[in-house]
């Protein structure tokens, strides 16, 4: 059984090396880059990855493009800021041979400004990433894409390590980019919003993260994450209002 690892990138020089070194056991590693200017491409090629370069159509379409380059029996889809531990590597190789399921979800442990988040809705964050090639495709969403499949899936025990944010600048940048893409997706679906709804949904997002999902147990980082979740929700709704105003 051969394993293909696929990763999409843009300006990931700060983390892509760790990601690719953690999957050196794979039979092939494919990186689909969308115009990096920070040395990402050179790092990937230096580590033996096959690198293809294209434009940026959104996360779902881009991940399917990367998937189309894969030739292995199995595919592991990773983000550039994720790494595979030795325990997860061993488990992946084992289930590939077992053939019990064609799709597997991996628990993911994410860190926020250096702190592993055990609460706040971030753990255990099961993400479907390992699958037999041809058994699944990504939804075409601009952001928050999902792997679409029809057969029963399994779950692995060993976790995927995810260094989600290393600085507040990254947090703010992602809030801006994802709220814009999310607002555009909502507009395309005919959804509407208002200033009042933006405030209410932002507050609900904070309470869900900090109180309902026990973000307070993650210390100051839990509070900061709850605030950033609220901001992302608030700005997504406001941007939707403005997009609909332009359309009117």
The whole model's pTM is what? 0.91
List pLDDT tens digits, range 13-31: 999 999 999 999 999 999 9
Q: How far apart are CA 225 and CA 248, in angstroms?
A: 35
What is the predicted pLDDT for the residue at 16?
98
The ranges of the chain annotated as CATH 3.90.550.10 are 3-164
What is the predicted pLDDT for the residue at 245?
93
> What are φ and ψ of residue 147, in 5° steps?
-80, 125
List pLDDT tens digits, range 184-224: 999 999 999 999 999 999 999 999 999 999 999 999 999 99
List pLDDT tens digits, range 130-155: 999 999 999 999 999 999 999 999 99
Whether the predicted pLDDT of 99 surpasses 90 = no
Residue 126 has a CB neighbour count (10 Å cut-off) of 16
3 neighbors 26 (Cβ within 8 angstroms): yes
Q: How far is CA 210 from CA 86, 120, 122, in A?
A: 32, 6, 11
What is the predicted pLDDT for the residue at 248?
63
Third-level CATH fold of 3-164: Spore Coat Polysaccharide Biosynthesis Protein SpsA; Chain A (3.90.550)
228 neighbors 176 (Cβ within 8 angstroms): no
% the chain with pLDDT above 90: 97
Whether the predicted pLDDT of 246 surpasses 90 = no
pLDDT band, very low/low/confident/very high, at 83 (cuts 50, 70, 90):
very high
Q: How far apart are CA 167 and CA 181, in angstroms?
A: 22
Burial class from Cβ neighbours inside 10 Å (0-12, 13-18, 19+) for residue 119 reads middle
């Amino acid at each position: 059984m051969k394993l293909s690892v696929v990763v999409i990138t843009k300006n990931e020089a700060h983390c892509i090396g760790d990601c690719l070194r953690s999957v050196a056991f794979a039979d092939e590693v494919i990186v689909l880059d969308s115009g990096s200017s920070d040395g990402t491409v050179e790092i990937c090629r230096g580590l033996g990855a096959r690198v293809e370069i294209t434009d940026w159509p959104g996360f779902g379409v881009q991940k399917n493009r990367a998937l189309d380059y894969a030739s292995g029996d199995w595919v592991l889809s990773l983000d550039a800021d994720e790494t595979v531990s030795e325990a997860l590597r061993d488990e992946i190789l084992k289930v590939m041979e077992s053939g019990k399921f064609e799709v597997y979800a991996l628990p993911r442990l994410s860190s926020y400004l250096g702190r592993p988040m055990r609460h706040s809705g971030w753990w255990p964050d099961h993400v479907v990433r390992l699958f037999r090639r041809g058994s699944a495709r990504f939804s075409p969403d601009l952001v928050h894409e999902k792997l679409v499949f029809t057969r029963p899936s399994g779950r692995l025990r060993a976790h995927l390590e995810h260094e989600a944010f290393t600085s507040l600048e990254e947090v703010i940048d992602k809030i801006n980019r994802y709220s814009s893409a999310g607002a555009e997706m909502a507009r395309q679906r005919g959804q509407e919003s208002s200033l009042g709804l933006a405030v209410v949904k932002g507050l609900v997002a904070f309470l869900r993260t900090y109180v309902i999902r026990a973000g307070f147990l993650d210390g100051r980082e839990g509070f900061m994450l709850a605030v950033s979740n609220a901001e992302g929700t608030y700005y997504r709704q406001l941007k939707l209002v403005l997009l609909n105003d332009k359309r009117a």
